[in-house]
Amino acid sequence: MTSLLVADIAVLVTNDPAAGPGLLGEIRGAALVVEHGRVAWAGPAIAAPACDVRVSASGGAVLPGFVDSHTHLVFAGDRLADFTGRMSGRPYSPDGISSTVAATRAAPDEVLTANVARLLGELRAGGATTVEVKSGYGLTVADEARALAIARQFTDETTFLGAHVVPAEYAADRGAYVDLVTGPMLAAAAPHAKWIDVFCDRGAFDESEARAVCRAGMAAGLGPRLHGNQLGPGPGVRLAVELGAASVDHCTHLADADIEALAGSATVATLLPGAEFSTRSPYPDARRLLDAGVAVALATDCNPGTSYTTSIPLCIALAVREMGMSPAEAVHAATAGGARALRRDDIGVLRPGSRADFVVLAAPDPGYLAYRPGVPLVAGVWKDGRPI
């Protein structure tokens, strides 16, 4: 058995309230011991046990690897023209998804696989050690199953999003498309998916359609999660809470009743500021959610249409600057919050027994992630006790 000591840690973020003060459970002047890919010990350096191998964090902060609980990485092509149009004054519409659907359907497996690998490489370089990946640009039985099979090569956190939009060929018969999603498409997708998701919003799926999709997925053994309240007020949050969803994502337009429902639930509000940044839209009010006691996650929403970023540090900086979060709250949301949004307790935390997934910063405090926006501060990324 080889034990590894990570030494010279200015601040260790444990997210374990028993380990240290504050929301982040910080230990100053810390060390971390890793064995068999798991955290074996975390505490003050002066009390660290002897280990076989020693590596230095060089006086940087160490924090749990980021958990990106919301991405759409399986696609082909790009939507630069959409982005340029929006930045020239055109509003966002979900219709643009159809161009990515066409490009994705036409792409061979190797192209889609290589694109996922490229984007995951970027995510990892930015400190993400767990990444959820959705389908949703195939929208046929074969193309949705293919997208999930490709995603599964990279992560266990795969989500069936056949109900992303109604594809053009079903525009005149939405009911038939919902029947397809909840029937043959779900049957083909379920072996490759852990979660089911639906875009419950203006221009996408209404409340009863979204409920039918989620209930069918749950009956097939998938956990529900929803896109809701992104483009306007709506039933998404209420429905997510009703269904016991792990997460409802976007949460940009919330009524008081939505916040009350979330606060009394096990559903995480996942905020995706890359989408508001890239669509020049008002940001969600994270302060309002946090003050009400709602569990909040931060994720990239990486997709070619509305948030083509793989940078969790950017999302942290936006959350602090634009959404009323403190640096500690934003770091917590991008680590422990993301883990909770995936119903995981082995990641997003650094305590004995948790996975040794962590980030070493070239900065002495996690607050630097917001304090120095746009600067590549992630100096090292470790997954299962190994540098990646």
Which residues would be at the binding site for Zn ion (CB under 5 A)? 301
Distance CA 16, CA 82 (A): 43
Shortest Å, Cβ 109 to Zn ion: 23
Shortest Å, Cβ 191 to Zn ion: 23
Six token digits for residue 367: 């607050």
What's the burial of 220, exposed, middle or buried (CB within 10 Å: 0-12/13-18/19+)?
A: middle
- With respect to Zn ion, which residue has the nearer C-beta, 236 or 366? 236
Shortest Å, Cβ 231 to Zn ion: 12
- With respect to Zn ion, which residue has the nearer C-beta, 212 or 231? 231
Q: What is the Cα 356 distance to its own chain's centre?
A: 19
Residues counted in the chain: 388
- With respect to Zn ion, which residue has the nearer C-beta, 82 or 301? 301
Task: Decide: 201 and 231 in contact? Cβ < 8 Å.
Answer: yes
The residue number whose beta carbon is nearest to Zn ion equals 301
- With respect to Zn ion, which residue has the nearer C-beta, 26 or 301? 301
Produce one character per residue of 135-169: b if its CB has 16 or more CB atoms within 10 Å, e if not.
bbbbbbbebbbbbbbbbbebbebbbbbbbbbbbee
Shortest Å, Cβ 306 to Zn ion: 8
Shortest Å, Cβ 62 to Zn ion: 30
Shortest Å, Cβ 176 to Zn ion: 24
Q: Look-up: residue for tokens 């359609």?
A: 209
- With respect to Zn ion, which residue has the nearer C-beta, 180 or 200? 200
Task: Decide: 191 and 163 in contact? Cβ < 8 Å.
Answer: no
- With respect to Zn ion, which residue has the nearer C-beta, 134 or 211? 134
Q: Look-up: residue for tokens 């959350």?
A: 319
SS3 content of the chain, % helix, strand, coil (to 5): 40, 25, 40
Shortest Å, Cβ 286 to Zn ion: 18
CA atoms within 13 A on the CB side of 179: 5
Distance CA 349, CA 192 (A): 27
In the chain, what's the furthest Cα-to-Cα distance?
69
- With respect to Zn ion, which residue has the nearer C-beta, 124 or 134? 134
Phi (first) and psi of residue 378, to 5 degrees = -80, 110
- With respect to Zn ion, which residue has the nearer C-beta, 188 or 299? 299
Please name the residues in contact with 39: beta carbons below 8 A apart, sequence gap of 6 or more. 32, 33, 350, 351, 352, 353, 354, 355, 356
- With respect to Zn ion, which residue has the nearer C-beta, 8 or 301? 301
Shortest Å, Cβ 50 to Zn ion: 47
Task: Decide: 16 and 29 in contact? Cβ < 8 Å.
Answer: no
Shortest Å, Cβ 227 to Zn ion: 5
